[in-house]
Structure 1
């Protein structure tokens, strides 16, 4: 009773909410790639979120997300593609995904700190969330930077974000531990020490251009140098991206045509993917939506030269085409057939173009307060 009495003021009238989601993919490599076959992949999230008056502060709230992953490894075993064609494909793990507190500092300025998914604040591809390929969630020029990727799925890192969000535009600055988790101990929540490889600093600005266009521009850099790809020594890892989203047609809640394009560039001496360009179209609404998209990841010159001793030499670009459609079957239940065609998977001439078929089932549940 004493603990409850102490805890109640923290929620200040708004008790926490509990939600759950489960995404599962039955996915198969029909031709090409490394090996034909069918796999079952899944991601379960259990989330607890506070109300909007944490500790009695208007607009302050916290969130904790516990995640279970199973069946990962499809890209590595079946297709060999470098961009990872399924956005829940990851090694088996049970671990926290996010655990953060967000507090308003002024009416337009907020701060978030804790285990933060960088992609929830930076490099958003809101139109691309329909698709399964990982490149349509965050560009591979950023997602594959660093020693083991930044603070994104499936392993996040401690970080802090400042966001200034007046009407019509926004600016954000984030600082994250440069190495997310412990690559050799996937179930370990925190590394042995923080900041052992420096920090990742990222900034982004966005603006609404007219009533239908949203533009984003971001830049990022690691404070500590990383090993060079093609020679002994170290090099700086940094990059930037731009994105435009547009609502091309709006004929009610079920008939909207949207489009987006994103381009990114990373320093090539420290990052294998030097250039990325992707985007696509979606049509529909919350109940039914379909789309087509393309993602093209181009090796930088150092990464391409490093593979040159192989005969034949690696391709310069891997291109992923995706066609998908999602149908809401009931409250919180979605069914989504998907097809992808990967040209030059893993940039490897020895691996044939891959045709991948998938069926995604997604279930979302939101508990009461």
Structure 2
């Protein structure tokens, strides 16, 4: 029995991998103050298929993150933006960011463990090619709740997805303070989210529709640490194919919401805009966050993903905001990211 379990097919159950990201951010003009930062990230993951363990169809997934920020604070801090220019920031960390079990049962998928909400909810085709944090997830969630269970503070939770034909409904319940993952896990608060996705086709184009609702509750004494309680809704739509796509995203708070009460964003991307560069991606986006007390913050982003080799990419990116946080002078921020996947 043991020899059969440790047969030569055992390594086929294990799927290691990872990536390395190097990022440089420079506030060129305006904002709160001139600033720059360099960040370095190493992700390593291991996926274990569970059929041969007697757990049925599914897998166990583990991911570790080692992150180093040269200045010890947010790379875009001097820009004065509420909508962070980079979604890679993780500070100084050596942290277990994912460790969960996923079980496939018919049309359902169950997940339990340390999860990243942005892997499953509010994932929009095309938004992956834009770096501003507004595009995953909408900022009336991400920018209001510093304890949203996302990397590097992925949180303990449970979620289920159900698929039938072109529709998927998913729901999740997560701890409300993932910064302290094993301290008063759910007594310190909770984050709940539910979403409906539909994918259809129109002639040769793929259509994606998305509607979701969320609620965040926590102990009052944690308000300054994890953000005020609140709830809201969001939606998104995308149309395109494998080579080009356009999308729009909206979000609105029903209660709570500080500093962001609502959001409207849109973007487009395409492969092979430049001759002879069919694997490169050009993306353009606009993100408009409505601020508590009035006013708004708009960010325009132009990004280019240059393929250097099979698993090596260089991403120059530039972002402009005419009125960061509604109070600072116009800002122009440049980013450069080098990514190697293995």
Q: Displacement, 1:99?
A: 0.6
Cross-structure match for 1:185: none
Is the Cα contact below 8 Å between 2:58 and 2:103 reproduced in 1? yes
Match of 1:33, SS state, is coil
Distance 1:191 1:328, change over 3 A: same
Distance 1:98 1:54, change over 3 A: farther
User: C-alpha distance in 2, partners of 1:194/1:75?
Assistant: 30
Cross-structure match for 1:289: 281
Give the total of aligned pairs: 328
Is the Cα contact below 8 Å between 1:125 and 1:138 reproduced in 2? no
Q: Which has the higher strand share?
A: 2
Cross-structure match for 2:199: 208
User: C-alpha distance in 2, partners of 1:54/1:195?
Assistant: 33
Spell out the pairing of 1:47-58 with structure 2 (5 A cutoff). Answer: 47-51=45-49, 53=51, 55-58=53-56
User: C-alpha distance in 1, partners of 2:136/2:121?
Assistant: 10
Cross-structure match for 2:312: 333
User: Which blocks of at least 5 consecutive residues in structure 2 are unaligned?
Assistant: 273-277
User: C-alpha distance in 2, partners of 1:328/1:87?
Assistant: 20
User: Which blocks of at least 5 consecutive residues in structure 1 are unaligned?
Assistant: 183-189, 305-315
User: C-alpha distance in 1, partners of 2:299/2:142?
Assistant: 16
Spell out the pairing of 1:150-161 with structure 2 (5 A cutoff). Answer: 150-161=148-159
TM-align CA RMSD: 2.6
User: C-alpha distance in 2, partners of 1:193/1:221?
Assistant: 19
Is the Cα contact below 8 Å between 2:147 and 2:179 reproduced in 1? no
User: C-alpha distance in 2, partners of 1:257/1:48?
Assistant: 31
User: C-alpha distance in 2, partners of 1:202/1:30?
Assistant: 38
Is the Cα contact below 8 Å between 2:232 and 2:255 reproduced in 1? no
Q: Displacement, 1:210?
A: 2.8
Is the Cα contact below 8 Å between 1:12 and 1:53 reproduced in 2? no
User: C-alpha distance in 2, partners of 1:244/1:63?
Assistant: 30
1:357 to 331, 334, 341: 334
Cross-structure match for 1:15: 13
- The answer as to 2:82 corresponding to 1:90 is no
Q: Displacement, 1:15?
A: 2.4
Spell out the pairing of 1:1-369 with structure 2 (5 A cutoff). Answer: 8=6, 14-51=12-49, 53=51, 55-71=53-69, 73-75=73-75, 77-104=77-104, 106-146=105-145, 148-182=146-180, 190-211=181-202, 212-224=206-218, 237-247=230-240, 256-284=243-271, 287-301=279-293, 304=294, 316-348=295-327, 351-365=328-342
User: C-alpha distance in 1, partners of 2:200/2:239?
Assistant: 9
